[in-house]
A and B are shown apart, each in its own frame.
Chain A
Amino acid sequence: MFFTYLRRELRNRRKQTIVVAIGLSVAIALVIVVSSVSTGVKNAQSEVLESVYGVGTDITVTQPAGGPGEGAAPARRFDFGEEDGEASEDGTRSLAQDRLSTAMGSTSFDAAALETVSGLDHVSGVAATLDLQNMSFSGEMPDMEALQEGDGPATLQMGPDGAGEGSAGGSSFEIEQFTVTGVDPDAAAVGPLTTAEVADGRTLAADDENVAVLDATYAEQQGLAVGDTITAGGKDLEIVGTVASSTGDGVATASDAYLPLATAQTLADLADQVTDVYVQVDSAENVDAVAAAVEDELPDASVSTQSDLAEGVTGSLSTASNLIGTLGTWLSAIVLAAAFGLAILFTVSGVNRRTRELGTLKAIGWSKGRVVGQVAGESVVQGLIGGAAGLALGALAVWAVNLSGITLSGASGGFTMGGGTGPMSAGAVQGGDTAPEGAGGSAFGERADTLAGAAGNAVDVVLQAPVSLWIVLAAVGLAVLGGLLAGVVGGQRAARLRPAEALRSLA
């Protein structure tokens, strides 16, 4: 009788059933989409972070640019004396120079910090890196000696955006630039190389000296392979391997070239200096405490935890994250509340309309529990119908989101670029895809691309919104909860009905 009556009631009040089910299903679908897209965005965010900072990094320690200490960013300039290079007969002079210095926005500091941090409680792993930038100048300039009698050195100064003049009155030159990270081969558990896997050759070994491992994407761009050499800081280094990001195909690793830390320090003339210290903490709950301890020990350092880093992810990824975080959550909460309200309203109005009917059932001996159960049962089934429809709708929407292959671009440049050059990182992200064509098609276009990729740490991630079992269970649970809520409110009303209503309420 329970199911017969329930079925008949729902079928008889088809419009109400459909409206409540649609309301609930839209709300449920929205909850599914928002939570799965939000999971997708979070995954993308950690993918970006991992590709830059490596897996397992809980805290990074850097030195703010321009802060006190010995490592102020050096001027990026090439100085040539009048005797430099080789003069040719046509009145030009061929010049080449190679400069390895700290990456823009990075400031080096004493490697003693590594010891300090590793001595702290709850620190399970530490690795230091030296983020460098190699700029090489090669080209022909008018032979100053031949052209004029002036004594002063010809100076070409590069702006930080790499946009030097392409020609300077009869001169032609190229400026190449790539990022170099000096890593400690011993500390493989933490740091940027944890998400890199060997693509060719081998990775750095403990006793390596004057060798380099290249990012596979960069090597391909430059036509370099294992066994070739690459010049950094004026020294030819043998390429012993290439590495690719383990977080996705075609995702660049954090740097173009990786050198043994000692080699990098020597070439950059930065003995015992590092730019980043990566810290691994034994458990998540100690992260904040360790970060505070590091701040105490190294008052000049800038200490960032994973959550700080996540906030530092810029680009469309950050926009998506904010959108999902605020608008999405609020929207689902509002629609869910509206759907619950609708279900309750309809159930209560249904009970009111059925006062005589339910009163009659009480009068002929139906217990309060049976009447309440009947009313609540109808609501719960309505909720289940809504939940099932919502599940289908939500799955469809998530499928559409995944199928559309939304690409989110994220950069964690805010950290590696440091204080003063913040806007640069955003610019670099935007420019990452368009620079090759947009910058005039000259040799500089390619440089701009390289520069953007290297400086901004921009990573494109295709949004994959996963629908987990938990999301499904939560959605169905919400639908049943909506039905139950309506059933409880409606049922309470029905329970309060006096059987005498059957006699009183006249049609």
Chain B
Amino acid sequence: MYQIDDLTKTYRQGKRVVRALRGVSLTIGDGELVAVQGPTGGGKSTLLQMLGGLDRPTSGTVKLDGTDLAGMSDAQLTAARAETIGFVFQNFNLIPTLTALENVETALVPARLARQSRTARALAALDSVGLGDRGDHLPGELSGGQQQRVAIARALVKNPKVLLADEPTGNLDEETRDEIVDLIEGLWKEQGLTIVLVTHDSVVARRTPRRLRIAKGAMKELSAA
């Protein structure tokens, strides 16, 4: 799915030059579930941004299904994010003024579906994360775990090839954390998604078949499937 070669990313933070990624090379196969661990500021999130086409590398290539994301135009990247890549964030990042169902529907907006089929697909996605009956609730009326389920439904409703999750359990208690990890694991098994899970939680990471560690911008393989 992903072929990453000699990926570097440097950016300026005031006068300081931060080298977030220093020549990372990595291959992630189709349908793999990979956990990326590492200390804060080690480059985890930067790697995820490169994988999701949210930012451009300083040098190196990130090939998604054989196409280099770095060579794509903004519009092409937007289209890739709309069709191929699903995101799950640490803070859920739901739109607070929209209901759970409407939040899931936002991911289908770029696809320009008819309203009915959009709503039907969003409902099915909510169902698949066990929240079919909470569609008309606002995020503020849902628990953290429920909000993250809505966010996962939003990421999956467009049937992406890849799911990128940035600390998806970072803001959840242990019990809820396990529920979410169960859910992600289940989806992986059922749908054959490629999933990259950034986490600093070893408990979460140990449940994945492949673990990577990134620190000071350098990648290390911890275990391979």
Among A366, A498, A503, A506, which residue has the most Cβ atoms of chain B within 10 A? Answer: A503
Query: Which applies to chain A's interface (DSSP): helix, strand, loop or mixed?
Result: helix
- Would you call A503 and B105 a contact (CB within 8 A)? no
Point out the residues of chain B lying under 8 angstroms from A12, CB to CB. 96-97
- Would you call A502 and B87 a contact (CB within 8 A)? yes
Q: Mark B72-104, 1 if CB is under 8 A from A, else 0.
A: 001100110111001101110101111000100
A3-11, A141-149, A316-324, A460-468 - the one binding chain B? A3-11
- Would you call A363 and B81 a contact (CB within 8 A)? yes
B32 at the interface (CB under 8 A from A): no
A45-53, A198-206, A354-362 - the one binding chain B? A354-362
- A235: min CB distance to chain B, Å: 90
Q: Which of B45, B96, B155, B158 is the one whose CB lies under 8 Å from A503?
A: B45
Shortest Cβ distance from A359 into B: residue? B93
In A1-41, the 8 Å CB interface with B consists of 1, 4-5, 8-9, 11-12
Among B49, B74, B97, B155, which residue has the most Cβ atoms of chain A within 10 A? Answer: B97
Alpha-carbon distance A1/B113, docked complex (angstroms): 11
A499 at the interface (CB under 8 A from B): yes
Alpha-carbon distance A503/B95, docked complex (angstroms): 15
Shortest Cβ distance from A374 into B: residue? B109
Q: Mark A93-119, 1 if CB is under 8 A from B, else 0.
A: 000000000000000000000000000
Point out the residues of chain A lying under 8 angstroms from B110, CB to CB. 365-367, 370
Alpha-carbon distance A364/B109, docked complex (angstroms): 10
Alpha-carbon distance A366/B108, docked complex (angstroms): 9
- Would you call B97 and A364 a contact (CB within 8 A)? no
Question: How many residues of chain A have a CB within 8 Å of chain B?
Answer: 27
Among A360, A368, A507, which residue has the most Cβ atoms of chain B within 10 A? Answer: A360
Q: Which of B49, B74, B96, B97 is the one whose CB lies under 8 Å from A500?
A: B49
- Would you call B87 and A361 a contact (CB within 8 A)? no
Point out the residues of chain A lying under 8 angstroms from B106, CB to CB. 1, 5, 361, 364, 366
A496 at the interface (CB under 8 A from B): no
Point out the residues of chain A lying under 8 angstroms from B155, CB to CB. 364
- A350: min CB distance to chain B, Å: 12
Alpha-carbon distance A507/B75, docked complex (angstroms): 29
In B145-203, the 8 Å CB interface with A consists of 154-155, 158, 166
- B115: min CB distance to chain A, Å: 8
Point out the residues of chain B lying under 8 angstroms from A370, CB to CB. 109-110
- Would you call A503 and B49 a contact (CB within 8 A)? yes
Q: Which of A8, A11, A357, A367 is the one whose CB lies under 8 Å from B78?
A: A367
Q: List 12 A-B contacts (CB under 8 A).
A: A1-B106, A362-B81, A363-B54, A365-B79, A365-B158, A366-B78, A366-B110, A368-B78, A502-B87, A503-B48, A503-B89, A504-B45
| 9 shortest interchain CB distances as A-B pairs | A365-B82, A8-B97, A360-B93, A500-B54, A365-B81, A365-B110, A12-B97, A499-B54, A500-B55
Q: A361-B95, A364-B155, A365-B110 are in contact. List 6 more A-B contacts (CB 8 A).
A: A5-B98, A5-B106, A365-B158, A370-B110, A502-B89, A503-B89
Query: B-contacting residues of A (Cβ < 8 Å)?
Result: 1, 4-5, 8-9, 11-12, 356-357, 360-368, 370, 498-500, 502-504, 506-507
